[in-house]
Amino acid sequence: MAEAAPVPDSFITVRSTLPCFSLPLIPERPWVTTERLVLRPLAASDLEALHELRTQPEVMIWTSAGKPDSSQAETKAKLDGILSDEENQRSFNYAICFKEDPSKLIGICGCWRLSSGLGWPELGYMFRKEAWGQGIATESLKAWLGLWNALPRQVVGVKCDERTLRGLDGIYENKEEGVLVEERLIALTTDNNGGSKNILKKCGFEHFLTWKDRDSHPNESEDGKGEEVWIDLPTFRYFPGRN
């Protein structure tokens, strides 16, 4: 049964490890190869391929935008934001490419923000529709998690939704203010995105919470106003310290 949406004013502060906020500069981040893929830092030269990705309706329907980019300028603004010095310190994203052509991205995965709507870092990913159903997402996410796990850590205060501390048996790890708890990485999907849920499970995530939220892109009526729609958001967590 879906629970209520997070309420930041009710969050508690715990102590945990998190990647150091002085993340490696984007050009200095390491490349990683897998059986079929190359994971590399994003670059300004990725604009054309990123625009192709972000204009596929089948891909964008699963994103917070909910619709394709209207122009290459819109995509460029998104890419410029990712590559900015400010964003460099709060995200950890990678371009996903086939080994045969490491200059052409087919997807992106990474930590989009170090503090999600639940308080913990959040994972996100998107892949061209032509790459679906081949295990590409699972292969790339597992490689990215290796990079994430290897980042240097520091103990910091984390203001989080106390439900992130609740075990699958309903028992809380410890929700007292200031207590030291295991680090989490959060991932959200939608109830009807079975493929994404399966990918997360294959990569070591566990489903611990489903909550209701307003659809950020409901169908618009003729007068241009969207009807308010509520959707279920299955939420998963990953424990870097266990991997």
* Residue range 118-177, pLDDT digits in tens: 999 999 999 999 999 999 999 999 999 999 999 999 999 999 999 999 999 999 887 788
How large a percentage of the chain has pLDDT more than 90?
Answer: 73
Question: What is d(CA 208, CA 234) in angstroms, rounded to the nearest whole number?
Answer: 8
Residue with tokens 């190869």: 33
pLDDT-derived band at 114, boundaries 50, 70, 90: confident
* Mean of pLDDT values over 49-71: 93
Catalogue all structural domains in the chain, each as residue range(s) with its CATH number: 8-242 (3.40.630.30)
221 pLDDT above the threshold of 60: no
Is residue 15 very low, low, confident or very high in pLDDT (cuts 50, 70, 90)? very high
Residue 178 pLDDT > 70, yes or no? yes
Q: Are 122 and 187 in contact (CB under 8 A)?
A: yes
Residue 86 has what pLDDT? 74
- The dihedral formed by the CA atoms of 43, 96, 56 and 212, expressed in degrees to the nearest 10: -110
Of all residues in the chain, the percent with pLDDT exceeding 70 is 94
Give 82: exposed, middle or buried? Use CB within 10 Å, 0-12, 13-18, 19+. middle
Q: What is the pLDDT of residue 22?
A: 74
* pLDDT(222) > 50: no
DSSP-based three-state secondary structure for 132: coil
Mean pLDDT of 210-221: 70
